[in-house]
Structures are given as C-alpha cells and as structure tokens.
Amino acid sequence: MTETHKNYIAGEWRGSESASRNLNPSDTNDLVGLYAQASAADVEAAVAAARAAFPTWSRTTPLERHDILARIAAEMTARRDELGDLLAREEGKTLPEAIGEVSRAALTFDFFAGEALRIPGEKFGSLRPGVDVEVTREGVGVVGVIAPWNFPLVIPSWKIAPALCYGNCIIFKPAELVTASAHKLAEIIVRAGVPAGVFNLVMGRGSVVGQAMLDHPRIDALTFTGSVATGRKVAEACTARMRKFQLEMGGKNPLIVLDDADLKTAVEVAVNGAYFSTGQRCTASSRLIVTKGVYGRFADALAERMRALTVDDARKPGVHIGPVVDDGQLQQDLSYVEIGKGEGATLKLGGERLNRATPGFYMAPALFVDADNDMRIAREEIFGPVATMIPARDYDHALALANDTEFGLCGGICTTSLKYASHYKRNAEVGMAMVNLPTAGVDYHAPFGGRKGSSLGAREQGRYAVEFYTTVKTAYTMA
Ligand code: NAD
C-alpha cells in the first residue's frame, strides 16, 4: 500500500481523512505519491501553533537563524540531483532545468542565511537635544505562503527563506500539483532544527486550505504567487482585514527583435524565453514583436530552430521540452491554438498534441505569425508553449506595442544599438527589462517583480525582501 505523505503542523506530521494523487505528467501511469489534504481545522491548528511560536522565534539570535538557514541550503545542495529528479517527475520540466531550480533554491537559503547576520537598522540624530532616534526592523508575525505549481521549489524558497531570516512563523500552502517537492522541502526545514510551530506545511485545495488562510484573522501577512484571478481574491481578503500582502501574478511578456539584432542571438533568446520549461513561466516571452526588416528572416530562423527541439519525457537525456503540467493546462493551451487560428493569426508551426512512448501531456511548441496585438492570443496569458509574433514598423512602434498590455512583469529587446537598448530600459513598463537575454531567467539575489496587472506590493528576492517580511519600528530615547 502506498504511504500517504503527511502535513506538518505544530511540530508534528499529521495525517488527514483524504489524500491527493500526485501523477507524473510525462507518464500518467507513474504515481509520484499520495499527499494528505489538509482541512480548515488544520489551518486553524497551524496558525495557533505559529502564533504561539512567534514570541520566542522572533527573539532568537541572528546566528541561530543563520545556522538553520545554512543547514537547509547545505542539505538541498547535497541532494540536488535527487530533488531535481523528483521535481522533474512531478512537474515536467526537464532534468537540467529541475536540477538548476534546486540549486537556485539552495542559493536562496544560503543568501538569507547571510542576510540574517545583516538585518539593517539606522540611527538618526534628533531635532531635540539629547534624544536618539533608532530605526529597527522586526518580523511581521505569522506569514501565509501560497505558491503556484510552475516553480515547486524556488518560489516557496524565495518566500520561506526571508520569512525565517527575519523571524517570522510560516503557514506554507503549496500548489496541489507539486506536493512532492513541497514535502521534501518541509522535511529538510524540519531536520534543520526549526522549532515546533515556526514552520507549518498544509497541503490541499486552494478553495479549502488557501481560502481558510485568506479568511483567518490571525495571519499577519500573505505572500502569493499565482494567477490574476486568485490574486484578486487574496487582495480582497487582505484589504478587508487590513493585512499586509504581496502578489506576483501573470504576464504577457514582450520580446522586441529589431532589424539590427544579431539574428542567432535573437533566435536563442526567443526559443529559451518562449518555450523552455514548456512555456510555463510567468516571465515567458509570449509576444515576439519584430520589426519589418528582419521579420521574415527571424520567423524562418526561429521555426527552423524549433524543429530541432525534442519534446519528450522530462527525465530523458537530451530532451529540450517536457510535457505540459496536466490535462487541464494542456486543454487550455490547445484551445488557445484554435482561438489564434480563429482570430486570423497564421500558425507557422506546432500547436498539436504529441504521442510519446508513455501516456503524458505532450504538445508541440506553437508559433503564430502575423498576429495583431489586439488578438486574445496577444493579450491573455496562455501559460504554455505558445508564442505569438507581431510585426512592428520600427522601434517606436515596437515599444508602443510592447507596453500595450495590462501586464508588466518582464520584457526584453534584442538589438546591437546602445541607443535603443538604453531607451528601452528607460521606457519599458515592466519590473524587469532584459537586453539580449531571455525574459525568463533571473538572478536570485536581485529584486524580482513587476508592475501594472502583474504584481502588487513589495518586491521579492535579495535585499528587497526585507520590506515585506519586516515591519519598521522607530524608537526615541532621551539619555
Ligand atoms: P493559481 O492562482 O491557480 O494557484 C496559485 C495558488 O493559489 C495555489 O497554491 C492554489 O491552490 C491557490 N489557490 C487557489 N484558489 C485559492 C483561493 N480561493 N484562496 C487561496 N488560495 C487559492 O495559479 P497556478 O495555476 O498555480 O500558477 C500559474 C499562475 O501563476 C500563472 O498565472 C503564472 O503567471 C503565475 N506565476 C506568477 C509568477 C510571478 O512571480 N509573477 C511566478 C510563477 C507563476
């Protein structure tokens, strides 16, 4: 009989009445495991434990927190290949991508181990004689972490590591599809010596566990990454409770290719940004905006490069693109291919379901050309291996098209012109701008986030994370 992996609440592993089946999207005959489904009562118990743990945990020394975070980083690094294999098996990104994700997650814990020793503060001279003014930062309290499925380890890590670093307690709800990586991460965190109540894992449905977190009056702050629709619910619930929150949501990220771009570089940047990780990245280059002097040559070169991509089992050596994460997402991707055709865009390549040796959710990467920026395939996030090429008259037109979107996460430009690169960096309405680099792929120590409909609240990652996970106190002393 397959064992059910339990939730971790108040310092103990707890079972539940029901379990969810975690299936391998490369081979649906492969059961990755059974995972306990938490209830609203489990969330209640987790919050109570976290509240009880906060006064002691928030007063631990920076060194104690450093050591725990460093131990988590060390174990993740040592088990990189094993954790990467599990991640690829449950989510469907290729093995090198999955192992890379584990490394980045480990580096994130390592970074915040260091940050625990560098918690910033300031001292001001006062307007009044003999008075000192000190500005310090304290943890906000109990932090709810709600994560998506597309980066099963790295997104939880870039939330959990700073939360622990600054002395917060955590209720972690992973996405339903990627409980295996979340469970492994929880085991590692527990083994590193986090006291009971400080870290709690509650796996289960968004509508049950996630909603119970939104409704809970004693969670002090909520960090969320996921879709715009769910983000809106998080914002409404948090606003109603006057609670701090942070949202990272969707994107419709443009990559501009100018006539003067190095064609080979532009094709690699586009293939990587649009199709790697099966296009399931919030930073994916789903709109390719190409000026007319290079349009035809770029489309042909990109299509030729795409024909050399292998789509197969995520864990097979040499595979470039794994399966789509599940049947629901695959149906959404395929339906957008039909929508694009119906809107009058030309499907140059791909877009069909593929059969492989094992039953999985395989799809040929799709390229639409001659699309209009007003089409649904250019405006709505598809979240799959589908890119839409849009012609532009010149740089100014390309920039206007790039900015004509309700999203603002990431954007890129391929050009050899310093003038256009500089102008683009200044005028792109995005949180992250890339020059001659894929829109997807960021450094773990630099701020991550967007603007417009993509993000709300403080930035994630690096030193900027301190804004969300701490609250500032200004103390006045008369000596
Ligand atoms: P989703 O919104 O469906 O789910 C995200 C999380 O919210 C899951 O854990 C889910 O269980 C939970 N949830 C669902 N309903 C809830 C509710 N009523 N209350 C509380 N929680 C609830 O998103 P997804 O399908 O897991 O992820 C894909 C989306 O995430 C895409 O839109 C993608 O662009 C976005 N994303 C954004 C970033 C970023 O940093 N901007 C990064 C990765 C993914």
Single out the residue of 253, 184, 188, 243 nearest to residue 434, CA to CA: 253
Cβ pair 398, 293 in contact under 8 A:
no
Q: What is the pTM of this model?
A: 0.97
State whether 161 and 23 are in the same domain.
Answer: yes
State whether 168 and 274 are in the same domain.
Answer: no
Domain range for 353: 254-435
pLDDT tens across 226-274, in order?
999 999 999 999 999 999 999 999 999 999 999 999 999 999 999 999 9
pLDDT tens across 343-398, in order?
999 999 999 999 999 999 999 999 999 999 999 999 999 999 999 999 999 999 99
Ligand 1, pocket residues at CB < 6 Å: 146-151, 173, 175-176, 206-207, 210-211, 214, 225-227, 230, 233, 248-251, 282, 381, 383, 409, 454
Look up 122 and say whether it is catalytic. Answer: no
State whether 227 and 245 are in the same domain.
Answer: yes
What does DSSP assign to residue 448? Answer: B
The mean predicted confidence, pLDDT, of the chain is 98
State whether 186 and 115 are in the same domain.
Answer: yes
CA of 37 to the centre of ligand 1 (A): 18
Cβ pair 289, 401 in contact under 8 A:
yes
State whether 238 and 263 are in the same domain.
Answer: no
CATH number at residue 124: 3.40.605.10
Single out the residue of 156, 258, 266 nearest to residue 201, CA to CA: 156
CA of 228 to the centre of ligand 1 (A): 8
165, 169, 282, 410: which one is catalytic? 282
CA of 330 to the centre of ligand 1 (A): 17
Whole-number percent of the chain with pLDDT over 70: 100
CA of 150 to the centre of ligand 1 (A): 9
Give the ligand 1 atom nearest the CA of 237: 19
φ/ψ of 210, rounded to 5, equals -60, -45
Look up 282 and say whether it is catalytic. Answer: yes
Length of the chain, please? 479
State whether 274 and 351 are in the same domain.
Answer: yes
The pLDDT score that the predictor gives to residue 83 is 98
pLDDT(284) > 90: yes
Q: Identify each DSSP E strand in 44-130 by its residue range.
A: 122-125
What does DSSP assign to residue 287? Answer: E
State whether 343 and 403 are in the same domain.
Answer: yes
State whether 109 and 241 are in the same domain.
Answer: yes
Give the ligand 1 atom nearest the CA of 173: 9
Q: What is the C-alpha separation between 23 and 274, in angstroms, rounded? A: 25
Please give the C-alpha separations between residue 363 and each of 233, 271, 356, 462, in angstroms, as whole numbers: 31, 15, 10, 35
Asked whether residue 325 is assigned to any structural domain, the reply reads yes
Query: Residues 308-322: what's their mean pLDDT?
Result: 98
Asked whether residue 239 is assigned to any structural domain, the reply reads yes
Ligand 1 pocket test: which of 213, 230, 444 has the largest number of ligand atoms within 8 Å of its C-beta? 230
Cβ pair 386, 380 in contact under 8 A:
no
pLDDT(421) > 80: yes
Residue scoring higher pLDDT (330 or 479): 330
Asked whether residue 66 is assigned to any structural domain, the reply reads yes
CA of 104 to the centre of ligand 1 (A): 21
| 3-class state of residue 421 by DSSP | helix
β partners of residue 124: 133
**Token duo for residue 154:** 């790295």
Confidence of residue 212 (pLDDT cuts 50, 70, 90): very high
State whether 25 and 141 are in the same domain.
Answer: yes
State whether 224 and 294 are in the same domain.
Answer: no
The answer for residues whose C-beta is within 8 angstroms of residue 182's C-beta and 6 or more apart is 147, 152, 156, 172, 174, 201, 203
Q: Ligand 1: which residue has its CA nearest to atom 23?
A: 226
Asked whether residue 447 is assigned to any structural domain, the reply reads no
Q: Ligand 1: which residue has its CA nearest to atom 26?
A: 148
Q: What is the DSSP string of 16-40?
A: -S-EEEEEETTEEEEEEEEEEPP-H
State whether 108 and 79 are in the same domain.
Answer: yes
CA 136 to chain CA mean position, Å: 30
Asked whether residue 440 is assigned to any structural domain, the reply reads no
The pLDDT score that the predictor gives to residue 2 is 85
Q: What is the C-alpha separation between 380 and 374, in angstroms, rounded? A: 10
pLDDT(208) > 90: yes
pLDDT(318) > 90: yes
Asked whether residue 443 is assigned to any structural domain, the reply reads no
The pLDDT score that the predictor gives to residue 479 is 79
Domain tally for the chain?
2
CA of 392 to the centre of ligand 1 (A): 33
Query: Residues 331-354: what's their mean pLDDT?
Result: 98
Q: Ligand 1: which residue has its CA nearest to atom 42?
A: 282
Q: Ligand 1: which residue has its CA nearest to atom 14?
A: 206
| Angle of CA points 211, 215, 216, to nearest 5° | 115
CATH number at residue 360: 3.40.309.10
Contacts 24+ apart (CB under 8 A), 42-45: 42/7, 42/9, 42/14, 42/16, 42/202, 42/204, 42/209, 43/171, 43/202, 43/209, 43/212, 43/213, 43/216, 44/212, 44/216, 45/9, 45/10
91, 115, 176, 248: which one is catalytic? 248
Query: Residues 296-307: what's their mean pLDDT?
Result: 98
pLDDT(145) > 80: yes
Q: Ligand 1: which residue has its CA nearest to atom 32?
A: 227
Cβ pair 432, 450 in contact under 8 A:
yes
Q: What is the C-alpha separation between 120 and 470, in angstroms, rounded? A: 11
**Token duo for residue 120:** 């910033």
Asked whether residue 188 is assigned to any structural domain, the reply reads yes
CA of 241 to the centre of ligand 1 (A): 21
Q: What is the C-alpha separation between 384 and 365, in angstroms, rounded? A: 8
Ligand 1 pocket test: which of 227, 331, 442 has the largest number of ligand atoms within 8 Å of its C-beta? 227
Q: What is the C-alpha separation between 328 and 331, in angstroms, rounded? A: 5
Q: Ligand 1: which residue has its CA nearest to atom 34?
A: 250
State whether 243 and 259 are in the same domain.
Answer: no
**Token duo for residue 343:** 């809107």
Asked whether residue 442 is assigned to any structural domain, the reply reads no
φ/ψ of 292, rounded to 5, equals -70, -25
